[in-house]
Amino acid sequence: MKKITIVRGLLALGLALGLVSTILTAGTNQPAIPVVAATAEDNTSDRTITLHKYTESATPTSAQATGTTADASNVPADSKPLQGIQFRVERVDKVAGKPLDASDSSTYAVDNSFPAKTTTTGSDGKAQLTVGTGKDADGYYLVTEVASKLVATATAPFIVHLPQTTKNASTGDMTLLYDVNVYPKNKVDDNAVALNPEKFVTNDTSGTGTTATSVMQGGFAIWNLVVTRPADIKATDDNGNITYAKEVAFSDPLVTSNLKYLGYNTPYFKEPDGTKINLDTSDYDDSGAQLNSLVTDGKYSVLTFKLKAAGIQKFAAEPAGTKLTVPIGTTVNPDVTGKIINTFDTFYQGTATNTIIHEHSGTTDPLKDGARDVDKPVLPTNADTGAPVIYTGNVDIHKTNENGNNVAHATFKLYNSKTDAEAGKNPVQTGPSADPSVPDHDLTAVSNAQGIAEFTGLKVDPTTQQQTYWVVETDAPVGYDLNGQVFEVTAKRDTTVDATVKDHDNVLPNLPLTGRDGRLLLYEVAALLIGTGGLGVIFMKRRHAAPTK
């Protein structure tokens, strides 16, 4: 009897140990027991995902997201709400045996019974999507940012579970979130949400122009102010409501000493296929572009030009890639530097970030100073390598006598060819000017007290920044003969002497005299001699008529 009892006891102990072993083994293969919320799940609440889209910060936060609105306090101050970003939401089922990963489609299967939904962020960067109501809407949802021209790289896809269990930081209680808040951020594509100003120059109205040209002094130039249609000039929300950019403004500083403002030509859109569409006067505000209305900023006269709401809407209706051009006309009065740089600034407030984007056409990146005053653009400097330039050249003649002494008041003219110079035909003229009050005329230079006659503002090859001319002395000062030679000279951006011209003196009695003032002197001497001779004749007559004794 005792043996049987011992055996039975051992069997019972073995069964008990086996059961414990089974429980422990099972426990090691099962996931952690889910946390149970303090309250029962609500079967009547909407299940929603609320997205708060922001621009990327220069100092991003590393705070852990909670899915609550408390995460808003971790948004960096320099992050701005981003409008017009669309998200696609799909319901997914977890694949057994694999950890759920939004970047790995093998860890989930799309639930095709749930129609995919999209939502778009508004002006506050917020978009809210209701996926369903009650427990039937519970589950995993894949959120994907739809590719957009507004951002450089879309936010990586992520998965939200509705409802989300969260822990109250104060009480430690576990509660259920039926509205999960997410704050995705990414870098805005600056080119897409800016005007990307470009400026070109030409001395005619035939085309867009170039970044470097040359204009004869007194001539005219057309400066084309060009911007490209931004992607966020128009935004449409989930309800079909449309918003447009608030501001499209140009600001052009013209250096007063070199450029005389003549006015502007009709602004126009140019579509990618070359179609040109002129704007109506009701599309823009040109009060800051009227003659005698330009604002003074130091050595510059500042022209401003803005699109009105009608013009912005027309621009928004144009296809992507359309450019807006405002042609500005000036006359050119170069100086000895032989280089005139011209830039312009843009001020744009689109729908994406709702902030002013200030750009300068001489650089490649938007400015970061946040300037809003269109009357205070960035003034051009040599650092503006992307700005258009007008190049001109100078020719310097040194006038001397045979002893090398400086001679003043000698007059010279330029010619484009040696043949014309030898024949004295077709001298170089100023212009052509678009200003009727400034007629074209022969270009001349007169030597000063140092014997220097200087031609400035000559047209040159914009690539080499120089050009060959031929110079001839056309009028000599009093006491000198004309130098009959033709001199080949090269116009450059310098003040070095290009030719030395020597004159022979013809001071009395070395006749004949030449030169304008010399001829006057010759006439006076001739008159004096004639007068003296007349008196002699009279005297002789009187002498012959005298009675003899």
**Total count of domains within the chain:** 5
Question: pLDDT by residue (tens digit) across 22-50?
Answer: 322 333 333 333 445 456 789 999 999 99
**Cβ-count burial of 130 within 10 angstroms (0-12 exposed, 13-18 middle, 19+ buried)?**
middle
Residue 511 lies in a domain: no
Question: pLDDT by residue (tens digit) across 297-331?
Answer: 999 999 999 999 999 999 999 999 999 999 999 99
| pLDDT for res 206 | 62
Sign of torsion over alpha carbons 378, 381, 387, 393:
positive
Q: Are 357 and 223 found together in one domain?
A: yes
Q: Are 381 and 459 found together in one domain?
A: no
Residue 462 lies in a domain: yes
Q: Which of 387, 402, 434 is the last residue of a domain?
A: 387
What is the C-alpha to C-alpha distance for residues 210 and 418, in angstroms, rounded to an integer?
30
Range of the domain at 447: 390-503
Q: Are 12 and 85 found together in one domain?
A: no
Q: Are 117 and 146 found together in one domain?
A: yes
Q: Are 205 and 269 found together in one domain?
A: yes
Q: Are 280 and 379 found together in one domain?
A: yes
What is the C-alpha to C-alpha distance for residues 58 and 74, in angstroms, rounded to an integer?
14
Q: Are 364 and 435 found together in one domain?
A: no
What CATH code is carried by the domain that includes residue 289?
A: 2.60.40.740
Q: Are 346 and 474 found together in one domain?
A: no
Q: Are 306 and 272 found together in one domain?
A: yes
331 phi and psi, to 5 degrees? -90, 160
Residue 191 lies in a domain: no
| pLDDT for res 546 | 42
Residues in the chain where the model's pLDDT stays below 70? 1-39, 169, 204-207, 369, 432-439, 508-549
What CATH code is carried by the domain that includes residue 398?
A: 2.60.40.10
Amino acid (one-letter) located at 408:
A
| pLDDT for res 34 | 46
Residue 40 lies in a domain: no
CB 51 within 8 A of CB 146: no
Question: pLDDT by residue (tens digit) across 52-67?
Answer: 999 998 888 888 899 9
Q: Which of 186, 212, 229 is the last residue of a domain?
A: 186
Q: Are 496 and 439 found together in one domain?
A: yes
Q: Are 363 and 410 found together in one domain?
A: no
Question: pLDDT by residue (tens digit) across 77-106?
Answer: 889 999 999 999 999 999 999 999 999 999
Q: Which of 387, 409, 428 is the last residue of a domain?
A: 387
Q: Are 381 and 402 found together in one domain?
A: no
